[in-house]
Each structure stands twice: as structure tokens, then as C-alpha cells.
Amino acid sequence: MVQDRHLDRRLTMVRRQIEGRGVRDPRVLDAMRTVPRHRFVSRTLSGDAYKDHPLPIGSGQTISQPYIVALMAEAAAIEPDNRVLEVGTGSGYGAAVLAELAASVVSVERHRKLANSAAQVLAELGYDNATVVCADGSQGHLPGAPYDAVVVTAAAPSVPSALIDQLVDGGRMVIPVGPATFSQNLTLVRREGDETTTERFCPVRFVPLVEES
């Protein structure tokens, strides 16, 4: 019964917050209908899991608003055979959505506690194609490179060049770019050979990408 309540809320979330705002990619919509977002927040917040805003997940971090997760996944244009890097695992929810869309996902998180709990929930839900690595993701994750798509879920003042270097030719990166203290622009970076094109498409507000090196 509880499961049905979450499913109802999830389907309403997709209809109103995601389709209602113009996300059209059927695979992204299916992924958002499938991933049990309530499993990625604390039990006390699970009743709020399908609401139209971010939620605290501990260590001073947040799980992103559902619409923004869907918008970023759509912009990254992920194909079923793709290898994807996520920087900023947080709760692991975004990694699960990406794991529904891609062949494999490597997700990097600097907070050990968040990395461990995200890895546990992803394993419990059977996302065998998602791997969580505890490290500074601003440098990407060389052992899994190159990636067809990179999704960065923390705000960077500029696009880290290490992440561009780890994209395949034709690869896409979605990243919030702008000052940490204010709002940023979701930015789509496309790599074509040694050239990149960038396109800003939505104002957002993310926690900062912490660069340790």
C-alpha cells in the first residue's frame, strides 16, 4: 500500500513537474517514473520525496529538484550503450536515473558518508551498472574515461578542462556554471574533436563543486 502511494506520487510528479514543463524524451520520462526517489532521502523526509524542490541529504548537501534531474538527463542525450560520468553523487538518485538510461555510470562523491550510503541504496535497488567512487570529481575519473556524457551536479566557476578531456569525440557535458554564492546557468558543452561548443539553457542554483587540488 505504501509502495502504491509512492508510485502515485511519482507518476503525478512526472506528469505535472516534468512533462508539464516540457521534458519530452520518453526514455527520460520512463526513468523518472521508475526510480524510487523516496529511497534516496531519509525516512523522515520520504513523504516529501516527490515534491517540486530539493531536499537536505546530510553533510550540508541536497538532492536536486526532480525537474532539474530530468532536464539535465535530457540535455545529456544519453543512449543505451553510453558510458556516463556523474560528478557529485550526493544521495545517488541522479546516478540511478542515469543508470536507467546508460550502459554504465561512474559517479564520484567527495563525502565518504554520502558515497557509502548512495552505493548501498544503489546496490539494494539492483543498479549493478552504477559504481560510486569517493574522490575529488573535479578531475573526473580517469580509469573509466572516456565518457559519452558527463553530468556535473555541483556548481563550477568555469568548465573544468579535465572533464572535457575525458569526453569522447561527440560527447556531451551538462554542468551548472557560475559563482557558487549566486545562481548559475545549466550549460551544455559538446566536444567535437578538439573544439567545444557551449550553450546555456536554464538558470539554476547548486551547491559548489569543491576543488581540492
104-109 vs 130-134, strand pairing mode: parallel
Considering the complex, what minimum distance in angstroms separates the CB of residue 80 from ligand SAH? Answer: 21
Tell which one of 39, 111, 141, 191 touches ligand SAH (CB under 6 A). Answer: 111
Q: Does 176 bind ligand SAH (CB under 6 A)?
A: no
**How many other C-beta atoms lie within 10 A of the C-beta of residue 180?**
16
From the candidates 42, 46, 64, 117, which is the catalytic residue? 64
Respond yes or no: is residue 64 known to be catalytic.
yes
108 contacts 86 by C-beta, under 8 angstroms: yes
Q: Rounded to whole angstroms, what are the CA distances from 120 to 66, 162, 176, 209?
A: 21, 28, 27, 23
Residues paired with 85 in a beta bridge: 106, 150
Q: What are the residues facing 174 on neighbouring strands?
A: 151, 188
- Comparing CB distances to ligand SAH, the nearer of 1 and 43 is 43
Q: Residue 150 pairs with which residues in a beta bridge?
A: 85, 173
Q: How far is CA 96 from CA 25, 51, 101, in A?
A: 17, 18, 9
Selected from 83, 110, 141, 172, the binder of ligand SAH by CB under 6 A is 110
Which of the stretches 17-25, 140-148, 177-185, 204-212 binds ligand SAH when contact is defined by CB under 6 A?
A: 204-212
Cβ at position 169, least distance to ligand SAH in Å: 25
Q: Which positions from 40 through 99 interact with ligand SAH, judged by CB under 6 A?
A: 61-64, 87-88, 90-91, 93-94
39: nearest Cα among 127, 104, 109, 155: 127
Q: Is 184 in the site for ligand SAH (CB under 6 A)?
A: no
The reply to whether 186 sits near ligand SAH by the rule CB under 6 A is: no
Dig out the grid coordinates for 208 from the structure. 559548489
Give, as ranges, the residues between 150 and 169 that touch ligand SAH (CB under 6 A): 153-154
Residues 3-42 that bind ligand SAH (CB under 6 A): none
Contact footprint for ligand SAH (CB under 6 A): 61-64, 87-88, 90-91, 93-94, 108-111, 114, 136-138, 153-154, 207, 209-211
